[in-house]
Amino acid sequence: MTTAPFDPRRRHWLRVGAATAAIAALPLGLARAQPRTTVARTRSGQIGGQIEDGVHVFRGVPYGADTAARRWQPALRETRWRGVRDAHAYGPSAPQRGGEGPGSEDCLRVNVWTPALRDGARRPILVYIHGGGFTTGSGSDPLYDGGALCRHGDVVVVTLNHRLNAFGYLHLRDLGDASFAHAGNVGQLDLIQALEWVHAHADEFGGDAGNVTVFGQSGGGAKIATLMAMPAARGLFHRAWTMSGQQVTAAGPRAATQRAELFLGELGVAPGELERLRTLPMQALLDAQRVRDPSRVENSALYFGPVVDTVTLPRHPFWPEAPPQSADIPMVIGNTRDETRAFLGNDPDNFSLTWDALPAKLRTQQFVDLDPAVVIAEYRRLYPGYSPSEVFFAATTAGRSWRGAVEELEVRAAQGRNTWAYQLDWHPRTEEGRRSRAFHTLDIPLVFDTVQLPSARTGNDDDARRMAATMRDALLAFARSGDPSHAGMPAWAPYSMAARETMVFDTPSRLEHDPRGGERRLYQQAPFLQRGTQ
């Protein structure tokens, strides 16, 4: 990142800056009538955002320096700038393949939504960590807009970008010198640096540094689970809400080193030539990630994720027990009822399976080494009305998407009574909704209350808005008090091994004891193995 020269618009920003504090203190209805500009002060300079429906919004704010010069090392603090830096647009995503790529190595950015600036209100702060595994994604998806949470809950909302895939999780410690010591976890260290930035600027954005909730879906939940076992993250957040994302075990150093060697081989870089990696084109590093992962469980590209390096991550996140350092942090662990319809539902053949074709499909897609004949027989006993396709989607969800949640809930329950479980059964009552049901990611627009967006796939009818209000208010209650219960839903008891209390979000929502208990017992016949561990 370069230092900004004198901006000819600076005088304009200086004029509006003096008015911003007054605007922030006005009732929202009056604030909307004022110029839609706002200025905040950060440790590295002023930023100019805009007021959107009464909410102060700052996008693309640096919390670290360009990582191109610090590949596989902890990031430095962002470079200071002069004048008022424009914070109207989202920053670049991290380097990645796919729809949000190729991205940029100058990607360490936060986005902030707040009802007011510098007013001493000490609002709860909610920090969202995006999904996409540890490989893709960004904090810029329209579904993550924090405006509705701000307006309904009087909270501060932050989303962010951080290093991903080989740029964030390539374990080179055992192949290079001391400068590569933390390479396998620098993506996680970026998250810690972002949380430190949030802590340092809480007062400026009207938030409470002593009340920070991290929440995330899929890979975001896994990143949060990992943070709960990282000593450097201690004290930076005080509540955790995870959605369809768990990290029971992380990669061991041997497995992570083997993947690093495959990656180096694809690049044509010998282990003694690691310094070459620092100058290779970004695109070359992205292209080399296409090499097939050595795991025989999945036929996929090379896996990158957190590594038990004994220093930044000294233990597996949730094995053999929940991390003691996070025992006092209230936690919500949730999943959707039909997770795998999000990715296995893209194949139309999966909706017309026969009983004869089902065993071979399960053998490759349930990711658990259980005899498909045993699995099918038990599902036909539990759910006599299920078709082969319904068994396929239910079994793959229970076998590969739900197992981590059960593992985390059990070890958290052994620690105390500050963990809550949910299952999202609700889905739109449309033709698409009946086909996709409660698919992976459906809870994102419900907790953010962004159901009006077409990409939400929830519809925007009264039913969808009611479900969004229920889940949104549960998140807000949790952020405020550490308990997700609120007046608009049934009483939500913490999870225990005796009753396995689980809030089922549906129409109507209800508290159930051990929902899908038969499926849980079936799959617990096989040991759980987190992807990437071996």
3-state helix, strand, coil in the chain (%, to 5): 40, 15, 45
Active site residue 105: no
Nearest residue to 329 via CA among 235, 221, 430: 235
Place of tokens 């647009």: 89
Integer angstrom CA distances of residue 157 from 41, 288, 340: 17, 36, 29
Angle formed at CA 160 by CA 428 and CA 88, multiple of 5 degrees = 95
| Helix and strand numbers, DSSP H then E, in the chain | 16, 13
Q: Which of 339, 407, 408, 519 is catalytic?
A: 339
Burial class (CB in 10 A: 0-12, 13-18, 19+), 354: exposed
Q: Are 403 and 366 in contact (CB under 8 A)?
A: no
Q: Which of 440, 485, 486, 501 is catalytic?
A: 440
Secondary structure of 207-237 in HEC code, one letter for each residue: EEEEEEEEEEECHHHHHHHHHCCCHHHCCCC
What tokens were used for 208? 């409470």
Active site residue 440: yes
Q: What is the enclosing helix (H) or strand (E) of 421?
A: strand 419-424
Secondary structure of 246-312 in HEC code, one letter for each residue: CCCCCECHHHHHHHHHHHHHHHCCCHHHHHHHHCCCHHHHHHHHHCECCCCCCCCECCCCCECCCCC
What tokens were used for 86? 């424009």
Q: Are strands 84-86 and 239-243 parallel, antiparallel or unpaired?
A: unpaired
In whole angstroms, give the CA distance from residue 177 to residue 175.
7
Q: Which of 218, 244, 295, 401 is catalytic?
A: 218
Hey, which residues does 512 pair with through a beta bridge?
A: 502
Coil vs helix vs strand at 179: helix
Active site residue 218: yes
Hey, which residues does 332 pair with through a beta bridge?
A: 241, 420
Q: Which residues are tagged catalytic?
A: 218, 339, 440
